[in-house]
Chain A
Amino acid sequence: MTFLALEPIRILLYLVGICAFVGANAAYLVLAERKGAGRIQRRPGPNEAGWGGVLQPLADGIKLLAKQVMVPPGTDGLLFRAAPLMVMAPPLMCLATVPFGDTLVARNLNVGLLLVFSFGSINVMALMLGGWASRNKFAIISSARVVSQNVAYEIPMLLVVITLLMVTGTMDLNEIIKQQAGWFWHWNICKVWVNPLMPVTFLIFFTCMLAETNRAPFDMAEAESELVAGAFTEYGGMGFGVFFMAEYANIVVGCCLATILFFGGWQSPIGVLSGGLWGPVWFLLKMYGLIFTVIWIRWTFPRTQFYSLLNLSWKILIPISLFTLLLTGAMMKLPLLWNKFF
């Protein structure tokens, strides 16, 4: 393992690894999505390309790559071309700080959580620019929706994360995982003695993650039935393909984050088998479990109306997350006060 100590090679390997991980996930989650949709609707899903359809993403990719990237006249050419890049880059950046195992992390920052959230919010801007640069009324309506939706859901998400930060006391993602060592009741989602509303906190986080990644039932950015394809209306070929892949890459990042913050990351749920190669196994199991839930939710619920989407955030999620924040603070500080005065 001496060659891994060489920093440039290590970084290069992680770069290639993360790109491959995101690419493979984006490609095969599309297949998983279609297969999952088929399963729920009692049909087999794509099953012609390769054995059981395993070559479907490859076929889709070739088809998209073979198409011409067309920039419609009158669009803002630079922004139009830049938007797919800007939407794909943040998830790649976020994964740099995600610890897949005890030592399997590209760059362990002590502000990892902050970095993930700051890069995660670029996604909104990319979608907005893409829609705005398209010079298309549907795309612009979609851009407006994306912004108001993401602003609305960023708030409860960050409130929930602040609650967690008060519990963990660190922004280092690996440190947050290490605090959840042991059996599964040491995971943050089960720490009801810290805050009895911890499972609710996770639900809020998960809901916000769905909304932030523009997933059904909150896929207002790409409301096919009313807005053609939303912000991606004018995109064709791989430009559209990149937006599509970025959606899945963002889901991967969101589920990674949920795994780290609430499900103990690479920690084993049974106390043993936690170290070494078992770490990534547990991590990926938990992550794909959450991704499966995301797909399951998409094919269960119809799209919400836009005002009920905003109502959910402003009238329900934000008050509850504020309440959990206050409750956590109170439960942490009241014993200290008690000790001081009595």
Chain B
Amino acid sequence: MSLTTAFRETYRGFKSLLIGMRITAREAAKPSITMQYPHETLKMPDRFRGHVKLILDPTTGKSRCTACNLCVRACPSDCIDVEGMKREGEKKKSVTEYHVDFTTCSLCGSCVEACPSDAIEYSKAYNVVSQNREDFTHMDLVKDLDKEAKVWAQDHPAPATPPVAVAPPPPTPPSVAKPTPTSAPATAPTPAPSASTAVARPQSPDQPTP
């Protein structure tokens, strides 16, 4: 009796070994799923929360930010700093400085939710690194946007469409505009298709000059 048990157990054990080898052989036939990280990177999922960034409006090549400061007020960590100014020929203010203190930012996303003009979003940058603390205490989002805008300008050689007023919307209270030598006296702003940026973009030829 115990002899038959021994035989049966030997047979079963051997069979299980073969099954195991079949499994590994099957796995070996499948393609490798390694992402060769420095050479190739994963695409971040849509809901990934990196630091905030200014959105480049694909129709104008500029930011939609109107420097309304709602994000500054929404921020629980008080880490956002926005400056804006009114450019000539434009009804709304546009952003000139957008600084984020990433060392205190908790990535809560209140600023993104508070933004009335969809001007900021989470970036997909996950390997942010620097040897300089300043790069994080004063993250210059406008500068980042400039880089994007340059790429955008290369893809869109035609001049951006001049702002056209579509319909007079309810006037919004003008926020404190920083007086600059070139700024025209402010009137009640109407929604323009986009806000211009104070960036080093090539000036459009049909831009009105004073």
**CB closest residue in chain A, given B22:** A300
- Does B180 make an interface contact (CB < 8 A)? no
Docked complex Cα distance between A185 and B196 (Å): 84
- Does A44 make an interface contact (CB < 8 A)? yes
Residues of A near B21 (CB, < 8 A) are 296-297, 300
Q: Say which size band chain B's interface belongs to.
A: 10 to 19
Are B24 and A40 within 8 A (Cβ)?
Answer: yes
Q: How many residues in A have their beta carbons less than 8 Å from beta carbons of B?
A: 17
Using known A-B contacts A41-B27, A316-B10, determine if residue A300 contacts B20 with beta carbons closer than 8 Å.
yes
Residues of B near A301 (CB, < 8 A) are 17, 20
- Does A38 make an interface contact (CB < 8 A)? yes
* Binding stretch for chain A, among B30-38, B41-49, B132-140: B30-38
Are B33 and A39 within 8 A (Cβ)?
Answer: no
Residues of A near B14 (CB, < 8 A) are 203
Docked complex Cα distance between A315 and B3 (Å): 11
Q: Map CB proximity to A onto B128-167 as digits: 1 under 8 Å, 0 otherwise.
A: 0000000000000000000000000000000000000000
Chain A nearest CB, measured from B164 CB (Å):
55
- Does B28 make an interface contact (CB < 8 A)? yes
Q: Map CB proximity to B onto A39-51 as digits: 1 under 8 Å, 0 otherwise.
A: 1111110010000
Q: Which of A283-333 contact B (CB under 8 A)?
A: 296-297, 299-301, 315-316
Using known A-B contacts A316-B6, A316-B10, determine if residue A42 contacts B17 with beta carbons closer than 8 Å.
no
**CB closest residue in chain A, given B34:** A43
Residues of A near B23 (CB, < 8 A) are 300
- Does B200 make an interface contact (CB < 8 A)? no
Q: Map CB proximity to A onto B6-23 as digits: 1 under 8 Å, 0 otherwise.
A: 100010001001001101
Are B24 and A300 within 8 A (Cβ)?
Answer: yes
Among the listed B10, B24, B32, B36, which residue makes an inter-chain contact with A299, where contact means beta carbons less than 8 Å apart? B24
Residues of B near A36 (CB, < 8 A) are 28
Chain B nearest CB, measured from A331 CB (Å):
21
**CB closest residue in chain A, given B30:** A42
Docked complex Cα distance between A203 and B20 (Å): 16
Chain B nearest CB, measured from A46 CB (Å):
12
Among the listed B6, B10, B17, B28, which residue makes an inter-chain contact with A39, where contact means beta carbons less than 8 Å apart? B28
- Does B1 make an interface contact (CB < 8 A)? no
Docked complex Cα distance between A297 and B20 (Å): 9
Residues of B near A203 (CB, < 8 A) are 14
Chain B nearest CB, measured from A106 CB (Å):
35
**CB closest residue in chain B, given A41:** B27
Chain A nearest CB, measured from B2 CB (Å):
11
Residues of B near A40 (CB, < 8 A) are 24, 27-28
Residues of A near B24 (CB, < 8 A) are 40, 296, 299-300
Are A38 and B32 within 8 A (Cβ)?
Answer: yes
**CB closest residue in chain A, given B35:** A43
**CB closest residue in chain B, given A43:** B34
Are B25 and A44 within 8 A (Cβ)?
Answer: no
Residues of A near B20 (CB, < 8 A) are 300-301
Are B25 and A296 within 8 A (Cβ)?
Answer: yes
**CB closest residue in chain A, given B20:** A300
Chain A nearest CB, measured from B9 CB (Å):
9
**CB closest residue in chain A, given B23:** A300
Among the listed A42, A44, A297, A316, which residue makes an inter-chain contact with B27, where contact means beta carbons less than 8 Å apart? A42
Docked complex Cα distance between A142 and B20 (Å): 28
Residues of B near A315 (CB, < 8 A) are 6
Residues of B near A47 (CB, < 8 A) are 36
Docked complex Cα distance between A203 and B14 (Å): 10
Docked complex Cα distance between A228 and B41 (Å): 36
Residues of B near A299 (CB, < 8 A) are 24
Docked complex Cα distance between A315 and B23 (Å): 28
Chain B nearest CB, measured from A283 CB (Å):
24
Residues of A near B32 (CB, < 8 A) are 38-39, 42-44
Docked complex Cα distance between A305 and B6 (Å): 19
Docked complex Cα distance between A38 and B33 (Å): 11
Q: Map CB proximity to A onto B104-134 as digits: 1 under 8 Å, 0 otherwise.
A: 0000000000000000000000000000000
Some 29 contacts from A to B, beta carbons below 8 A apart, are A36-B28, A39-B28, A39-B32, A40-B24, A40-B27, A41-B27, A42-B27, A42-B31, A42-B32, A42-B34, A43-B32, A43-B34, A44-B32, A44-B34, A44-B36, A47-B36, A203-B14, A296-B24, A296-B25, A297-B21, A299-B24, A300-B20, A300-B21, A300-B23, A300-B24, A301-B17, A301-B20, A315-B6, A316-B10
Q: Which residues of A come within 8 Å of B, CB atoms?
A: 36, 38-44, 47, 203, 296-297, 299-301, 315-316
Q: Which residues of B come within 8 Å of A, CB atoms?
A: 6, 10, 14, 17, 20-21, 23-25, 27-28, 30-34, 36
Question: With A42-B34, A44-B36, A316-B10 given, can you name 15 additional A-B contacts, CB distance below 8 Å?
Answer: A36-B28, A38-B32, A39-B28, A40-B24, A40-B27, A42-B27, A42-B32, A43-B32, A47-B36, A297-B21, A299-B24, A300-B21, A300-B24, A301-B17, A316-B6
Kindly list the 10 A-B residue pairs having the minimum CB-CB distance in the complex, ordered from nearest. A43-B34, A300-B24, A39-B28, A40-B28, A40-B24, A44-B32, A300-B20, A300-B21, A42-B33, A42-B32
